[in-house]
Structure 1
Amino acid sequence: METVTGGCQCRRIRYEVGIENDEAYLCHCRMCQRATGGFAAAFKSVKRADVRWLGDEPDWYDSSPIARRPFCATCGTPLGFAFLEGSDNMDLTLGSFDDPGRFAPVHHFGAESMHEAWLDTSQLKRIRTDEYQLLVDKWVQATGKMPE
């Protein structure tokens, strides 16, 4: 088991979690779409007992009669999904991990709500943030440098 870290955008909420592999999945259900504002939620399933919240505990939203979701009330970062009872696992959002690029999707869930046009975007034009001069200028003016 390897320990990895993550947290919210403002860094108020941090966590570390033990993982056994780099398998992840995409949930396309309407609740996850609404909770994240995206076409799907990218999740890593972990054992609840292996999650350690560092510093502040997350805020929780009862998103349905059967589940709740950890998030940061300060910056709004969605951090995961957990059933209220009956499961030793919970999900953490891939984007909240410090190194989300290590994970690879192994399946889709909530396939009834999939938006197929968003699944294979490999043929779309790619624009790097440092190629968008307006954004570069705003960051440099505000902070003196581009974000990491």
Structure 2
Amino acid sequence: MLEGGCFCGAVRYVAEGAPFHPTICHCADCRRAAGAPCVAWFSVAMARLRFTRGRPRFFASSAKAERGFCADCGTTLTWRGLATPEEIDVTIASLDEPEAVPPADHTQAAGRLSWLALADGLPRIPGWRTE
């Protein structure tokens, strides 16, 4: 069981079951939504994520996805692709113990900012994961 929440504590969640697809995303949408050079995510079955305090606000960040964030402090919390409604991505950094889910690769690595040096040795997927 993984627990986490937003910066101010208004939204808390529990993700049960094994996380999958832990990644660092370099797409422009993630960068803009988080105000960061990249965002680390893990996936979990939608049915295995429950909010224990508050609820995030959701917005359509593109024609193919929606993002969840804390309406009070703005913390980026989730991403859900409309093509895969049975799963949801959760920001690794919003976990109480982010070391529990280390990223396994970099997705959208072709969009990496040139000044961000990657020296972790993880595989780099130029676009979206296809599995």
TM norm. shorter chain > 0.5: yes
- Corresponding residue for residue 82 of structure 1: 80
CA distance in 2, matches of 1:21, 1:50: 10
CA distance in 1, matches of 2:75, 2:89: 14
Q: After the TM superposition, which segments of 4 or more aligned residues of structure 1 sit over 6 Å from their partners?
A: none
Kindly state the Cα deviation for residue 116 of structure 1 after the two structures are TM-superposed: 4.9
Q: Aligned to 1:17, which of 15, 18, 23?
A: 15
Kindly indicate which of the two structures has a greater share of residues assigned to helix.
Answer: 1
Q: Among all aligned residue pairs of Structure 1 and Structure 2, give the percentage whose two residues are the same amino acid.
A: 32
- Corresponding residue for residue 125 of structure 1: none
Aligned CA-pair RMSD: 1.9
> TM-score, normalised to structure 1's length?
0.74
Q: Is the 8 A contact 2:26 2:107 kept in 1?
A: yes
1:12 corresponds to which letter in structure 2? A
- Corresponding residue for residue 63 of structure 1: 61
Structure 1: stretches of 5+ with no match in the other structure: 123-148
- How many residue pairs end up in the alignment? 120
Structure 2: stretches of 5+ with no match in the other structure: 121-131
Q: Which has the larger radius of gyration?
A: 1
Q: Aligned to 1:119, which of 117, 120, 123?
A: 117
CA distance in 2, matches of 1:35, 1:9: 15
CA distance in 2, matches of 1:81, 1:21: 14
| Residues 43-85 of structure 1: per-residue CA shift (max 9 Å, x gap) | 0111111001112111112101111101001001000200134
Kindly state the Cα deviation for residue 117 of structure 1 after the two structures are TM-superposed: 3.8
Q: Is the 8 A contact 1:22 1:103 kept in 2?
A: no
